[in-house]
Amino acid sequence: QQCIPCPTDWLVLQVPAWVQLEGDTVTLCCRVWRNRSIIRVCLYDNKKYLQVSLRGTKLSLLPLRMHHSGCYHCGGWVGSRVSLWWEKSVLVTVTAQGEHPHSWH
């Protein structure tokens, strides 16, 4: 599945790796340009609202399942004390593959 980006200058959704193993915890981070303030960060899966972080910019998919594969973006209120406006990141692809190998001890 390929994501079609909608460019923005303000937010970037960072994914630790393009391909993750099923069962992993994946932490996505919504970064704001030039260290501006950002509040109420939301995570979306193909335009469908998933979750909000009222404090901080990290959102997690845990445990990762095959149905989590898809296009994601984040959105949030960006700005300063004087004014806030809504921005969203470009779409990024998250791919879940196979089962996480069992560790034997």
Per the document, the length of the chain is: 105
pLDDT value, residue 50: 93
Q: β-strands 92-99, 19-22: how paired?
A: parallel
Q: Which residue has the tokens 């109420």?
A: 40
Its pTM surpasses 0.75: yes
pLDDT value, residue 2: 52
Name the DSSP letter for residue 73.
E
Both tokens of 93, joined, read 């692809």
Q: Which residue has the tokens 């901080």?
A: 56
Higher pLDDT, 19 or 37: 37
Bin 34: left if φ > 0, else alpha if -120 < ψ < 50, else beta. Answer: left
Q: What domains sit in the chain, N to C, each tagged with a CATH number? A: 11-94 (2.60.40.10)
